[in-house]
Amino acid sequence: MKQAVELLHDATDILNQAGIDSAHVDASLLLASVMKVERSQLSPFAQIPFVEAATFRELVHQRAKRIPLQHITGEAHFRHITLKVGAGVFVPRPETELLVEAGIESLCELDSPRVAVDLCAGSGAIALSLACEVANTTVYAVEQSPDAFTWLKTNVEEHEARLETVSSKVVCVQGDATDLALLAELAGSVDVVLSNPPYIPDAMIPRDPEARDHDPAMALFGGADGLDVARGVARVAQMLLKPGGLFGMEHADVQGESVPELLDEIGGWSQVKDHRDYNKLPRFTTAMRSVTE
């Protein structure tokens, strides 16, 4: 038997040497996962049995190879939900929570029932957050990748009871988020459209090994300037939204001017505004569907 504090000390050293900024937090989350408790319930003085300690050390070595923490534990926490994630699906980032918050604020100002669309839904982080946090909301979650779509369906099924409690639902739609025909029956009837599309320029290699080596390329790269998918998504959003409806789209921190310019070029948008993330970097743009054109 070893005390948790000893194991965590050694693991933190290993992860620090691997260049992981959140070494202690990651070590704590891995040990909590092995012990099947919440991190807050993990006492530093807990006695860890030999089998669990050995399992923990193996997981630490996997993390030291820069395998994403969420792939090792099989879970990603996003706002107030926990998602199943793994190979083939983009791991949701905390920065996207601010985009979701903008969507939730807009939906809460409206009478129910409400309708929203999540374009490039991935694991379902955006769609499920909207539906779970805003009662009487139907969210159409669009994802093209077969692998990611499997994770999306799994996560929606995992949250069915919670969705029923608030009289909301998420409808999974497999298809191209830039296809104007895909949700044509919803044209002009949607209150909010949010999207976290692939936006990295094709020639740019992600800095973090976790993203570069493990996130699917389809969820990362958006053409020569990174905005190919964003252009298509913006046009679909414009078709879907009611006049006055909110559109919000995430982008790279170097696209804080180019994405608003893109919306201005397309036309049909008002109140175009860019927003910063937790690190005060440009991160997402919002706009209202023009009432008159």
Residue showing tokens 């050694």 = 10
- CA 114 from chain centre, in angstroms, equals 21
Does 90 qualify as catalytic in the annotation?
yes
Q: Please state the φ and ψ torsions of residue 202, each to the nearest 5 degrees.
A: -55, -35
Catalytic residue among 68, 92, 197, 198: 197
CB 100 within 8 A of CB 130: yes
For 87, other C-beta atoms within 10 Å of its C-beta total 11
Q: 73 vs 16, 17, 143, 193, 249, CA distance in Å?
A: 19, 21, 24, 31, 29
Distance CA 182, CA 275 (A): 29
Question: Strands 2-3 and 137-143: what pairing?
Answer: unpaired
Which is the catalytic residue, given 68, 196, 198, 221? 196
Among 90, 149, 221, 284, the active-site one is: 90
Say which residues have a Cβ less than 8 Å from residue 157's Cβ, sequence separation at least 6.
Answer: none
| Residue 152 contacts residue 174 (beta carbons within 8 Å) | no
Would you please indicate which residues are annotated as catalytic (active-site) residues? 90, 196-197
